[in-house]
């Protein structure tokens, strides 16, 4: 057996040694537990665009990515209150709020399509044979962008 501990074990030990971190860890665990419950009781389309936020003794905040989802969930609050009661949150005031994601999903650059050397050669021949016009200009731009591949 090794004397070294895994990074997760060291992290848990670090968290357990500080009262504030331990309290934060407990709170995060509670939110994660309620998030799992939320995913099971919320309509599937709405569960994907909403999440559990703040949890207090008398209220629970649900954050939605858009106003349409928030409006629909507000219509369902009485049904949701019954569902939350099944999990021990009987007197819950359900607050639905719109809060978009703080960090948008990163936009991936489209991958540059590869044009084979043979195809580039044929396009180059077509470019030289064409009369001046929009098609010839477009081919010139295409050939210029793919020039390093030759």
pTM for the model stands at 0.58
CATH class as words, domain 9-98: alpha beta
Q: Quick: pLDDT tens for 83-115.
A: 988 988 877 789 999 987 655 556 667 777 788
Contact present, 83 and 52 (Cβ < 8 Å)? no
Q: How far apart are CA 38 and CA 35, in angstroms?
A: 5
Domain with CATH 3.30.300 in the chain: 9-98
Q: How far apart are CA 130 and CA 124, in angstroms?
A: 10
pLDDT at 150 over 80: no
DSSP string, 70-95: HHHHHHTHHHHHHHHHHTT-TTPEEE
| Strands, E assignment, the chain | 50-55, 59-64, 93-98
Contact present, 90 and 122 (Cβ < 8 Å)? no
Q: Quick: pLDDT tens for 44-77.
A: 889 989 999 888 888 899 999 889 999 999 999 9
């Amino acid at each position: 057996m090794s004397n070294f501990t895994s990074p997760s074990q060291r992290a848990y030990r670090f968290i357990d040694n500080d009262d504030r971190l331990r309290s934060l860890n407990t709170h995060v665990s509670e939110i994660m537990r309620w998030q799992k419950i939320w995913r099971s009781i919320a309509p599937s389309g709405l569960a994907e665009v909403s999440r559990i936020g703040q949890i207090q003794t008398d209220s629970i905040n649900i954050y939605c990515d858009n106003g349409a989802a928030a409006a629909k969930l507000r219509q369902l609050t009485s049904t949701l209150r019954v569902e939350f009661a099944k999990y021990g949150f009987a007197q819950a005031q359900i607050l639905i709020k719109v809060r978009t994601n703080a960090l948008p999903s990163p936009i991936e650059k489209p991958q540059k399509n590869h044009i084979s050397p043979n195809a580039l050669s044929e396009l180059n021949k077509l470019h030289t044979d064409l009369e001046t016009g929009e098609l010839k200009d477009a081919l010139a731009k295409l050939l210029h962008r793919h020039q390093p591949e030759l």
